[in-house]
Amino acid sequence: MISAGLSFSISAYAIRNEVRSNGIRDFTFKPDPETSMRTSARNHFAGHIADVKSGAVNDEVILRTDDGLDIVAIITQGGAASLGLERNSTAFALVKASSVLVLVDFDSHKISARNCIAGTVSAVVKGAVNAEVEISVPEGAKIVSIITNDSVDRLGLAVGKPATAIFKASSVIVGIE
């Protein structure tokens, strides 16, 4: 049995492809919010492509979020091509909370991760082993990280404390609607 959500998604996909194959580029299909894509990723960033730099194997994609953040992603050239990513095209980025590291005293550290977003801890929810830490950034976005309770204690994380959310460009999933 096919669920209504699945059949709707296939229909939306078929309509979008049919419209694009007929040369209509500015068509926007607005799916019903009840049947739109949902993911388990806690961090969703909507925006547009600010830049695409092609490499020998991978492309570096910079997504400028609606909040004004720049999120850097590394994806295969084939992936970028199949999504039709180009400057100013609408896209979104997903990052799993378990891929986000939390750092305090960022200025005294050097790190190779491309996405280092400074903000303030806005929530800490401890579980039996892990904690969910939410960092609010001045631009308005919120980034969620899952770290151990021991890490929360060691870093002294509490609401109002400055902290930086860090994730590698290779941990970012880029998508289009």
- Among 156, 171, 168, residue whose Cα is nearest residue 104: 156
What tens digit of pLDDT does each residue of 59-90 get? 999 999 999 999 999 999 999 999 999 999 99
- Can you tell me the distance from the alpha carbon of 90 to that of 93, in angstroms, rounded to the nearest whole number? 11
pLDDT score for 23: 53
pLDDT score for 21: 52
- Can you tell me the distance from the alpha carbon of 149 to that of 125, in angstroms, rounded to the nearest whole number? 9
3-state secondary structure the chain: CCCHHHHHHHHHHHHHHHHHHCCCCCCCCCCCHHHCCCCCCCEEEEEEEEEEEECCCEEEEEEEECCCCEEEEEEEHHHHHHHCCCCCCEEEEEECHHHCEEECCHHHCCCCCCEEEEEEEEEEEECCCEEEEEEECCCCCEEEEEEEHHHHHHHCCCCCCEEEEEECHHHCEEECC
pLDDT score for 32: 45
Tell me the whole-structure pTM to 2 decimals.
0.77
pLDDT score for 5: 38
pLDDT score for 59: 96
Q: What are phi and psi of 21, to 5 degrees?
A: -70, -20
- Can you tell me the distance from the alpha carbon of 14 to that of 16, in angstroms, rounded to the nearest whole number? 6
pLDDT score for 150: 98
Q: Tens digit of pLDDT per residue, the chain (177 long)?
A: 333 333 334 444 444 445 455 555 554 545 444 445 678 889 999 999 999 999 998 999 999 999 999 999 999 999 999 999 999 999 999 999 999 999 998 777 888 999 999 999 999 999 999 999 999 999 899 999 999 999 999 999 999 999 999 999 999 999 998
DSSP bridge pairs for 141: none
